[in-house]
Amino acid sequence: MELLQYEFTTAPKGSYLGNIGELIKKIRYYRTNVPIEEFKAALPSLKLLEQRLQEFDDSIGLMKRYYVDEIMEELQQEAEVEGKLMVDIERFSKIIINTIFREEFVIKEFAFDFRIKEAVKWLEFYGYKSEQIIDERLNVVKDIFRSACSMHNIIFIDSTLT
């Protein structure tokens, strides 16, 4: 569905594109910011908006689409990106750190935040959790984080110097 195509498009309220954008924004909000019970309580209003979109599709001869399901599936794929990113970072780091430094890599030694806002994903890397030093090992780990972020189309922000 390409959520971003609709989510940040300026379209008149009540229009087809406006309704799709509104539905995406609401589902993203409920999925990420509220408990499941509140999401379930909002589902009837989301289904009503979906029904309006389906009626429009029907009026122009398009097949019935289940917009809520499509949006939920795409949001799930977005959420999986963070999991895949972390798996790659750990796998690459374990291999490379062990090969170069003959040490075990422990991800818990490093401070970083993965964030998503308005569908923009980024990872902010702070360095070691316990100390404010920059050494060869930190630079290698930082490069691994940067490379993995690049592979997953995630912006990497280096905050080790701040």
Domain ranges in the chain? 3-65, 78-158
> For position 55, what pLDDT does the model report?
96
> For position 30, what pLDDT does the model report?
94
> For position 117, what pLDDT does the model report?
77
Give the C-alpha separation, 54 to 63, whole Å.
9
Give the C-alpha separation, 152 to 142, whole Å.
16
Which comes out higher in pLDDT, residue 141 or 162?
A: 141
Give the C-alpha separation, 90 to 85, whole Å.
9
> For position 22, what pLDDT does the model report?
94
Mean pLDDT score across all residues of the chain: 93
Question: What digits encode the pLDDT tens for the residues 62-77?
Answer: 999 999 999 999 989 8
Give the C-alpha separation, 108 to 52, whole Å.
48
Full-model pTM: 0.69
Which comes out higher in pLDDT, residue 5 or 28?
A: 28
Distances (CA, A) of 57 to 17, 71, 107, 162: 12, 17, 49, 52
